[in-house]
Structures are given as structure tokens and as C-alpha cells.
Amino acid sequence: MSLTLDSTFYENVESALQTRLLTVAGIPPAEHLVLENQSPAYVPQAGTPWLRWTFRPQPNRLANINADAQLVRHIGAVMIDYYVPRGEGTRRANTVSAAIVTALRPGTRLIYNGLLVLVRTCFAQGGQNIDQHYQRPITLGWTADTIST
């Protein structure tokens, strides 16, 4: 048995999740969505909310232990950090993070280019002040399955 992933597998997973995120009311516009290894590098602006997206695939595993198992489960996490201007309180951070968690709640099924992505977990954590912003982290867990040959 071997596992050969389509070269767009992780791109499709990430796109499915980002597409849903971008429908959430109140999030900053797409130009303030900071992706990993983005060029040119994003420079946060005082007074401007922004989002940082960090995509973290984890090791895959067989979905069952039968001798002829072919279903491979891929799991991963996305860390979404929502930043609002420091000193304005937590209301906007609470409202937007709750909207993100609602839009990507556990059990949400997303299909992108024929790939089904299932949201396993999504929760907001306590915030903290960082430089001129207040950061509210949101963690999202996902799964997607492929067939090995």
C-alpha cells in the first residue's frame, strides 16, 4: 500500500476553510488576512484589525485497522489570530471570534474541488495584548480522508 497525495490536497483543505472564514461578518477585509510566508510581508497598522492564518497539517493515519485498509485520515489544525487595536476593549474581539467559531463549528462539512473537509473542533481562547494590538487566538481542528492504493 502506498499513499500518493494529489499535489493540491493541502491547498484544497486550506482553501475550503479560508473560503468559509471569508464569509464571516465583521472580519477584516482579505487584504488584512495574513498568510504564512506571505510576500510582501504584512506590516500591522496601528488602529487596523487584522487576521493571521497558520495552517498546520499533522501526521496522517489509517482510518481503520483492517488488513486491507485503504482509507487514510488526514488531520490538522489552523491557528487564526484575530487582532484588534489595543485599548478599545474586548467587545469586537469577542463578537468576531464568536462569529468565526459559529461559522466553523464542529461538524461543519466543507467541499472544495471535490474534497470533503470536516471541522472537528473550533474554539476561541483568552486574549492578550501584543504591541499595539489585542490578540484573540482561535484554534480549528480539521480532518479529510483520501484512499490509498
The C-alpha cell that represents 26 in the structure block: 465583521
User: What is the structure's pLDDT at 98?
Assistant: 97
User: What is the structure's pLDDT at 44?
Assistant: 86
Max Cα-Cα span within the chain = 58
CA distances, 62 to each of 12, 68, 70 (Å): 20, 10, 7
Rounded to a whole number of angstroms, the distance between the first and last alpha carbons of the chain is: 5
Per mean pLDDT, which range of 2-6, 24-28, 113-117 is the poorest? 2-6
Chain center to CA of 106 = 13
User: What's the whole-number average pLDDT of the chain?
Assistant: 89
Q: What is the mean pLDDT of residues 29-58?
A: 88
- Residue identified by cell 472580519 is 27
DSSP conformational letter for 131 = T
Q: CA 15 to CA 28: how far, in whole Å?
A: 17
More confident position, 60 or 9: 9
User: What is the structure's pLDDT at 66?
Assistant: 67
Q: In this model, does residue 139 exceed pLDDT 60?
A: yes
pLDDT digits (tens, 9 = 90+) for 76-122: 999 999 999 998 889 999 999 999 999 999 999 999 999 999 999 99
User: What is the structure's pLDDT at 140?
Assistant: 98
3-state secondary structure of 120: strand
Spatial CA neighbour of 145 closest among 117, 106, 108: 117
- In terms of DSSP bridges, do strands 50-57 and 33-34 run parallel, antiparallel, or are they unpaired? parallel
Q: What is the mean pLDDT of residues 64-81?
A: 83
User: What is the structure's pLDDT at 41?
Assistant: 83
